[in-house]
Amino acid sequence: MKQLAILFFILFTTSAIAQDTGLIVGKILDKEMDNTPLPFANVSIKGTSNSVTSDISGMFLFENLKDGDYTLVCNFAGYETKEIKVHVDSYHPAEIKLSLEAFSLPITEVASAQNIDKKEI
């Protein structure tokens, strides 16, 4: 009976400790390709060194985060960078779906860049 009580105590304290931190799970999608997964996109938490890369299915995960508000910065080469605010709660994982759009230059910038090139030649 004493062993059962010790086992119950260990399991209870382990589960209580495990719930002190939260997590953010998300998926990065390619808006240009009908929201297909965008693999290998960079996702970081603004103001920290925490950074991850989305996997082949566009999924990413941040673990062991304290409860509070965070700003995620998502970027991928050739796509516009997006920031999104997320609230982390140790009892409920924060779930994010984010679509990134391809980066585009306004036509005036392209035209002025072509004029500069012609003058230099």
Domain ranges of the chain: 22-103
Which architecture, in CATH terms, is 22-103? Answer: Sandwich (2.60)
DSSP label at 49? Answer: S
Burial string for 56-76 (b: 16+ CB within 10 Å, else e) reads eebebebeebeeeebebebbb
With beta carbons less than 8 A apart as the criterion, state whether 29 and 38 touch. yes
Tell me the pTM.
0.70
**Is residue 90's pLDDT more than 70?**
yes
Could you tell me which residue, 12 or 85, shows the higher pLDDT? 85
Distance CA 115, CA 119 (A): 6
When the pLDDT of each residue in the chain is averaged and rounded to a whole number, the result is 83
Q: 52: left (phi > 0), else alpha (psi -120 to 50), else beta? A: beta
